[in-house]
Structure 1
Amino acid sequence: MAKGKNLKLHNPIEKHFNVITPYHYYFFFLIFLSKLPIFWHVLNLIFLTPPMKYYCEGGCPYCPYLSWDRSVFSETMQTKFNLVCDKTWLVSFSNSISYVGTLIGSLLFGFLSDKFGRLNSFTISCLILAISGCLVSVMPMEGLFIFMRCIEGIGVGGAIVTAYVLCIEFCGVRHRESVTALFHIPINISHMTLAGISYLLRHCDDFQLALSVPVFFFVAMKWLVMESPKWLMDNDRVEEAAIVMEKISKFNRLSSETIKEEIEAYHATQGQKRRTKVKFWQIFNHKKLTLNLGCMSVIYFVCGMGYYGVSQYIGRMSGDIHANVAISGALLLPGTITAFFLLKILNRRTFLMGTTFLSGLFMIIVICIPYHMGWFRVVIACICNCFFFMSFIIVFLYGVELFPTTIRNSVLGFLSVLSRVGQIVAPPINSLPETAAGGIFGAMAIIGSILCYPLPETKDIELPSSLEDSKSLPRKRTSTLEENYNAVEMK
């Protein structure tokens, strides 16, 4: 049959990655395992700076007879540095500064990984996180403690964005949704087990060390797995991309005789214009891409503020803090499993719009429930957080599908910055009365759902390699994955 003018030659790397192989199980296992200690550091502020009661007989500002209630925690940031009276603001400030570091890390390593590779950036992020995380526990003054928490956040932000893009670029269209959902299961486990670690280690320094030491193992990922071949090919490093694919084939005990020729042929057909490296700022030369970036920026902000804000909100609600956090993490797991199936059925825009709207609705319900119905309020807040988490699952996937390879991590880094800004404002919001804080979280989520409407649909479409690919994304889903592949096979 004659070659159709509008049919696109399939990326051979994505074509090969449409089959999950033994190497994929090995690769994903290591990446997913790294998520446990990395996300412990995302939420460790819940137990480093929990609500603490104290008694002072001498009066401010010196409180010579200060007595802390250590019935739950033997040492926290507040007790370690005597953060009372005019120093209480340092508690929420330290939490926000930690998220500032995460913001910097997301943006910095987003750009670095587009320039120097996904794997290099991931291992450097882990090294920064491991060292700074350990140093946090030995900082002698609150200023140094806060500074080191910022460095710790830089490592967290870099590790999150680089690991996710690395995973997505190691799977084809068929498995992109499944990998995205499964990527978040270790995060759920991390959320639940964090409460258990804190329950066993009530001293903040012991707790922090227990979270940080395991990260050193993942610095060795540089020598345990391989760089993204898609990133290598799209950066004109065709020979290296072919070598990686050949090594993967050898690991899987499969033939690799034609893979190099396939990659070279595909690369040659793209043309000089398609291979030209675009810059992040070139997005703003195109109205459609600017709109996409603007809407996604607000949605990322809402997801960051909502998920991390409501997680802190739940930790401060009445009841046992360890039980509340563990229940919150446990209820996220059904949401992740549900997302796994819904991603196969629903379009990206429909899924994201629905989860953000429902998270806002349930948060508004929480603030309408009387305070004396404590457990019921906690459960509804956990359901709200579950929908916020589902929004996070889809928004990460949606964001990487909207923009081309050469700026994908840069865009994800930029969007993650907006997510981190949301995290930064979450602690000050939670310092407000519960009703006011819940109202802000709920209203912003509903606004985010409205901004999903202008976005294009990316379900069952290969990751774009150029700005032209990104601009041509349809408003509606026009064909299924199988129809796309059957069309190409008929060429």
Structure 2
Amino acid sequence: MADPTPLLSQSATASSDQEPLKLKKHYPSLDSMIEQSMKDFGWAQLMQALLVSLAWFFDAQQTFISIFTDALPPWHCVNLDDQYCNSISDVCLLANSSSWQWEYPKHASIVSEWGLQCANSAIKGLPASSFFMGCLIGGLLLATLADSLLGRKNMLFLSCLVMSCSSLLTVFSTNVWIYSCLRFVTGFGRATIGTCALVLSAELVGKKCRGSVGMIGFFIFTLGFLSLPAIAYLNQGSSWRILYIWTAAPAIGYCVLVHFLVCESPRWLFGMGRREEAMESLKRIAPPGASALTNGFSSVSLNEYPINNMDIFSAIKALLEKRWAFRRLCAVMLIGFGVGMVYYGMPLGVGNLDFNLYSIITLNALAELPSTLVTFLLIGKLNRRSSLLFFTTLSGVFSVMCILEGQVWQKLQIVLELVSFFSGCTALDVLLIFTLELFPTSVRNTAMSMVRQAVVFGGVFSPLLVAVAGRTGDSVVSFGVFGLVIGCCGLFVMCLPETRGGNLCDTMDEEERKEDKRDHRVLC
């Protein structure tokens, strides 16, 4: 008779081996625990999202303030009977400077105060280009700090503080060179504001509300843009320095609120190994009913969660080394460049059209409202790839149509420009949400910042292109260039995977496993 003991011992051994495997298999991941803690959108999360997103308001003001401070003021002939003077549209063609005068005091614009009306295009476009160059360099140098050393909250605070202080110092500029340098510093400071605000607000809520919370920032950005023509109109004839005071002083007060009231991202804190701080952050923002859940985070789960040891260079290195990450980054940056040409170029270029500056800028700002609303209502239903391709193509077609000549087309220019700008704004909103979903937490802020710098890089060329077009008299040629660039760059969306409805990954390995599964399904 066979001895049953080995069978019993084997059965017991198998049972003991299988039980831990079963527990391990069903053990909740840290990502699922965080998602469950924040899936119910409560008042604490709403207040945090609103406070963080308010940074977009001041970001928009500093981005577009040069439209009014650097504008060529209106002028008129001193002698209304002077037929030669009245027949000239370019003041630089009048040899006698005493035959004309500005309609507003000289200090109303940097152009009239420093006599830049006849300067070459490079000098006239220098302040705006300096601002965008500051954005570009600041984004490249500061991008990884939010993923490594400082975190999302501290980076947001630092960026807002540098931007607002340098903007306030701009009022003491005595020439275009000092002014351009301070605009460069302002751009350097604001480079990561939108990125940090978007990433932080998205990481403070569950995936169900992620897209909607991102739209709050875009909506507030629109309000900031819309506030500029109102402030400028109320200060017509006043010094251009007043605009900087009106916009910089409240931004400094906002920095104080960020420092004391905003919570750090629990995802980032967990990734950096700061578990107790992460738990405290979760308890502050999670709805009351989730308190028991947040207390149930297992030490085993936390110990198994990999700590993010990335320094300020490792995040960029990780994006460049992984083939799938590099491919995604190149595609979204190229799309961002094309979108940036339209988004920053259109408001600067409308000054060359034959319309009232305050009215046309107000209409452009208002065009962002339906753009944000459309994205807010449809972001949960829109496929990222197809919608991005649609809006970039639509913007490109209508932008190119602005250059068509003829009396009928000239009357339709404002409509064509507004449709193109609306489509560009919507494409930018979708692109930022898309980018946020394409990259894991460990490099998300860096990737987002790189994309925003690509958008800004498109903006670097816009002031020079607009200035050249205005100087040559062919004022609408810039719109043709904008349309061709955004249309061609939008095609790179075909290189990206669809992300609608997916979970946010926290590590590069986790995202890579998801990419491998996606490639396997495609091959099958």
Correspondence for 2:333: 297
Q: 1:316 to 1:12 in 2, by over 3 A?
A: farther
| Percent of aligned positions that are identical | 21
Name the aligned partner's letter for residue 129 of structure 1.
M
1:343 and 2:384 are equivalent in the alignment: no
Correspondence for 2:349: 313
2:265 to 228, 236, 244: 228
Distance 2:208 2:113 in 1: 51
Q: Which moved more, 1:425-434 or 1:260-269?
A: 260-269
Please list every run of at least 4 consecutive aligned residues from structure 1 whose deviation after the TM superposition is greater than 6 angstroms. Answer: 1-8, 55-64, 475-478
1:46 to 54, 67, 72: 67
Correspondence for 1:417: 453
Alpha-carbon shift at residue 144 of structure 1 (Å) = 0.8
Distance 2:166 2:97 in 1: 33
Q: 1:72 to 1:30 in 2, by over 3 A?
A: farther
Distance 1:371 1:206 in 2: 39
Q: 1:145 to 1:63 in 2, by over 3 A?
A: farther
1:462 and 2:511 are equivalent in the alignment: no
Alpha-carbon shift at residue 330 of structure 1 (Å) = 1.2
1:136 and 2:177 are equivalent in the alignment: no
Correspondence for 1:268: 303
Correspondence for 1:206: 242
Q: 1:447 to 1:248 in 2, by over 3 A?
A: same
> If the length of structure 1 is used for normalisation, what is the TM-score?
0.88
Distance 2:486 2:146 in 1: 31
Correspondence for 2:485: 444
1:93 and 2:126 are equivalent in the alignment: yes
8 Å contact 1:458–1:474 — kept in the other structure? no
2:197 to 146, 163, 172: 163
Correspondence for 2:188: 154
Q: 1:328 to 1:262 in 2, by over 3 A?
A: same
Distance 1:343 1:384 in 2: 20
Q: Which moved more, 1:459-468 or 1:103-112?
A: 103-112
Q: Deviations over 1:81-113 (max 9, x none)?
A: 111334553221111001111222323332221
Q: Which moved more, 1:403-412 or 1:448-457?
A: 403-412
Q: 1:55 to 1:314 in 2, by over 3 A?
A: closer
8 Å contact 1:106–1:154 — kept in the other structure? yes
Distance 2:407 2:196 in 1: 42
Secondary structure at 1:345 match in 2 = coil
Distance 2:70 2:118 in 1: 15
8 Å contact 2:144–2:315 — kept in the other structure? no
Alpha-carbon shift at residue 362 of structure 1 (Å) = 1.3
Alpha-carbon shift at residue 3 of structure 1 (Å) = 7.9
Secondary structure at 1:256 match in 2 = helix
Alpha-carbon shift at residue 269 of structure 1 (Å) = 3.9
Secondary structure at 1:427 match in 2 = helix
Alpha-carbon shift at residue 430 of structure 1 (Å) = 1.5
Distance 1:403 1:227 in 2: 19
Q: Deviations over 1:27-67 (max 9, x none)?
A: 12222333222211111111111133568999899987585
Distance 2:477 2:409 in 1: 18
Alpha-carbon shift at residue 369 of structure 1 (Å) = 5.5
Distance 2:337 2:47 in 1: 33
1:357 and 2:393 are equivalent in the alignment: yes
Q: 1:276 to 1:128 in 2, by over 3 A?
A: closer
Q: Which has the larger radius of gyration?
A: 2
Correspondence for 2:403: 367
Distance 1:36 1:128 in 2: 16
> If the length of structure 2 is used for normalisation, what is the TM-score?
0.83
8 Å contact 2:200–2:265 — kept in the other structure? yes
Distance 1:324 1:264 in 2: 58
Q: 1:60 to 1:365 in 2, by over 3 A?
A: closer
Q: 1:279 to 1:350 in 2, by over 3 A?
A: same
What is the number of equivalent residue pairs in this alignment? 474
Alpha-carbon shift at residue 168 of structure 1 (Å) = 1.2
Name the aligned partner's letter for residue 265 of structure 2.
S
Distance 2:62 2:159 in 1: 13
Correspondence for 1:246: 283
Correspondence for 1:195: 229
Segments of structure 1 that go 5 or more residues without pairing to the other structure are 479-491
Distance 1:322 1:253 in 2: 48
8 Å contact 2:53–2:198 — kept in the other structure? no
Correspondence for 1:408: 444
8 Å contact 1:369–1:377 — kept in the other structure? no
Q: 1:401 to 1:352 in 2, by over 3 A?
A: same
The alignment's C-alpha RMSD in Å is 3.0
Alpha-carbon shift at residue 423 of structure 1 (Å) = 0.7
1:23 to 34, 44, 47: 44
Alpha-carbon shift at residue 247 of structure 1 (Å) = 2.8
Segments of structure 2 that go 5 or more residues without pairing to the other structure are 1-18, 78-84, 86-90, 520-524
